[in-house]
Each structure stands twice: as structure tokens, then as C-alpha cells.
């Protein structure tokens, strides 16, 4: 049995993750077996193809789970199919990245974009002869096909890291200004939505103060009331606009400070741009985010900037 891990045709795997787990499960139950019998049994008990079985054997041999002796395969280590499947995926990925042509075509020269915290690869930016590997990566669970033609979503951390470590594309000052203007517009639209939402919530009985219209450094966007019978502002709302799930937003130092000072009077309103036009849409409302988010150990907080004083 020969498999050349440098040859493209030996790397075009045809089965999905579930079938590979079945193959690994088969090897977990044998101690030693004739290679021909292994192929015979696996092709009849699973939908694995010869190229898939060869790859599993090559993987198990390279990782020293099995050894070859007298046309037989001897298992040397205990095999946990589900755990070992993740190793097999990383093994396959490392082979692709170590193949210069495939690595350059798939991971270096391909076009990708980031949308709603997802990394999207344009398969049409990849050489035709290498596009087949997107199907393999999809079958192994590293990619997911997006509804739009020609786009796939990265679902695996290691693969995502590979793309994010690439040099960022150059962006012109004009493009940068355009992005800033779009973000500003998204924010204004979301704030206006919340102003109207608050008016409806309070039955039209109160005047809502759209603070961000005249003061962008207040630490919140809107001053409102908890109840229609309240006489002073007691709900200070910071509006965050987002798309996709889960919501992702930035929180400034000033907003953080005001949230800490006002505690239960401070609210975050998260407005989904794609859903806000739907009748009856209600934004996600979070009271006292200083405690419920910043002090919550389960919150996913990422530092984007550092202030450096020399």
C-alpha cells in the first residue's frame, strides 16, 4: 500500500467526518489484521473510499498508533475515535499547509473578507485545480458553505488563525473614510430607532432626550425613564448597532466609566440592523452592563487597543 502525501490526488478525500470516525472506530477494535481484509471490511461497512482508508492508515502510521508487519497492520496504542478525529483533521490541515502550491493557492493568495465576525473565503479566487480542497475541508467540518455563490465560512480556529495571520490588505484613505461614515450612519439609525422605541414603551407620555445629537462625550446616547410616572431621567441608554449572531460591539473607556458610576441606571440596547425594520422588533436590553458583562467571568471580552505612555 502506497500513499504519497505530497501528491494532490492522494489528498482529495471523498468522505465526511462521520465516516472517518467510523473508520477510526474500526481500527480501535482490531489488534492486528491483514491490510486487504481492512479494505474489504471498511468498504462494506462504511462509505469510505480507498483514498480515505489509505489516508487513515497513513495518519495512524505517522502518529505511531499502528505499525506495518508482514502485510498486516498492528495496533500499538489505544484509539479513541472522536478524540483522534480532531488529530486527523489537524494532520490533514498541516499537510495542506506544508504543500507549497496548495498552501499558496488556498491560504496565501486567496481572497477573504470578514463580515459579522465570520471569515469568508472567495473560492473563485483560488486556482481551479485546488478548489476541490474546499469540499474536503467542508466535509471535515473546517468550512461551511455560505448561501452566496462562491463563499465559504471558516468554522475552525486553526484555519481562521491561518488567515488572520496574513498581512492585512491595504486600504486607501478614501475607503477608510467611507467605512467610518457607514459606521456613523449605522449608529445614528440605531439611536433614532431606540428613541422611537422608548417613546412607544412609555406610551408617548415622556420626552426622550437624544443626548448623542448634541453631546457625543456623555458616555451614553439617550436619556429616558424606567416608567411613565418617573419625573427625572433614570435610564441612560448606550446604543450598539450590530449584524449577525452573537452580537459584537465596542465599548469605549468613557462609556465604561459612566456605566460604573451609574450602575443600575445604565442600559445597553443592542440593535440588530437586519431585524430592526421588522414589526414588533425589540432590541436586546441589558441593565447595569458594568456588572452583568464586565464583571461576568463568562463574558467574551477582547482588548482591541492599548494606551502606551513613554
**Confidence at residue 261, expressed as pLDDT on a 0 to 100 scale:** 92
Q: What does the buried/exposed string (b/e) look like for 90-118 if buried means 16 or more CB atoms within 10 Å of the residue's CB?
A: ebbbebbbebeebbebbbeebebeeeeee
C-alpha span between 283 and 237 (Å, rounded): 12
Rounded to an integer, what is the distance from CA 69 to the centroid of its chain?
44
CATH T-level fold of 8-98: Arc Repressor Mutant, subunit A (1.10.10)
Provide the H-helix boundaries in the chain.
17-28, 35-45, 50-62, 81-98, 100-103, 132-139, 157-164, 173-201, 253-262, 289
> Cα(47)–Cα(25) distance, rounded to whole angstroms?
14
* Boundaries of every domain in the chain: 8-98, 108-164, 173-294
Question: What's the pLDDT score for residue 303?
Answer: 46
- Reported as a single tens digit per residue, the pLDDT across 203-255 is 988 899 999 888 888 899 999 999 999 999 999 999 999 887 777 788 788 88
pLDDT averaged per 10 residues, the chain (length 310): 74 94 94 92 94 93 88 89 88 88 88 76 90 92 79 71 58 61 78 93 91 87 94 95 81 86 94 86 92 73 48
Amino acid at each position: 500500500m502506497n500513499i504519497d502525501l505530497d501528491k494532490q490526488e492522494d489528498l482529495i478525500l471523498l468522505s465526511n467526518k462521520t465516516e472517518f470516525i467510523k473508520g477510526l472506530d474500526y481500527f480501535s477494535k482490531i489488534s492486528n489484521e491483514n491490510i486487504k481484509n481492512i479494505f474489504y471490511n471498511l468498504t462494506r461497512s462504511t462509505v469510505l473510499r480507498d483514498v480515505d482508508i489509505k489516508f487513515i492508515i497513513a495518519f495512524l502510521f505517522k502518529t505511531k498508533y499502528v505499525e506495518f508487519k508482514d502485510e498486516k497492520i498492528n495496533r500499538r496504542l489505544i484509539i479513541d475515535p472522536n478524540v483522534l478525529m480532531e488529530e486527523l483533521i489537524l494532520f490533514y490541515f498541516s499537510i495542506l499547509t506544508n504543500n507549497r502550491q496548495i498552501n499558496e493557492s488556498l491560504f496565501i493568495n486567496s481572497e477573504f473578507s470578514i463580515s459579522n465576525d465570520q471569515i469568508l473565503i472567495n473560492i473563485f479566487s483560488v486556482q481551479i485545480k485546488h478548489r476541490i480542497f474546499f469540499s474536503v475541508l467542508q466535509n471535515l467540518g473546517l468550512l461551511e458553505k455560505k448561501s452566496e455563490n462562491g463563499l465559504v465560512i471558516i468554522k475552525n480556529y486553526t484555519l481562521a488563525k491561518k488567515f488572520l495571520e496574513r498581512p492585512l490588505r491595504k486600504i486607501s484613505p478614501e475607503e477608510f473614510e467611507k467605512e467610518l461614515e457607514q459606521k456613523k450612519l449605522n449608529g445614528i439609525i440605531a439611536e433614532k430607532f431606540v428613541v422611537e422605541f422608548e417613546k412607544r414603551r412609555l406610551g408617548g407620555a415622556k420626552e426622550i432626550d437624544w443626548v448623542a445629537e448634541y453631546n457625543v462625550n456623555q458616555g451614553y446616547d439617550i436619556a429616558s425613564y424606567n416608567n411613565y410616572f418617573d419625573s427625572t431621567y433614570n435610564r441612560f441608554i448606550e446604543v450598539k448597532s450590530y449584524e449577525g449572531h452573537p452580537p459584537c460591539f465596542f465599548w469605549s473607556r468613557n462609556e465604561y466609566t459612566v456605566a460604573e458610576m451609574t450602575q443600575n441606571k445604565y442600559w445597553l440596547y443592542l440593535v440588530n440592523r437586519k431585524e430592526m425594520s421588522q414589526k414588533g422588533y425589540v432590541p436586546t436590553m441589558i441593565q447595569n452592563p458594568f456588572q452583568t458583562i464586565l464583571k461576568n467571568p463568562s463574558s467574551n471580552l477582547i482588548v482591541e487597543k492599548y494606551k502606551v505612555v513613554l
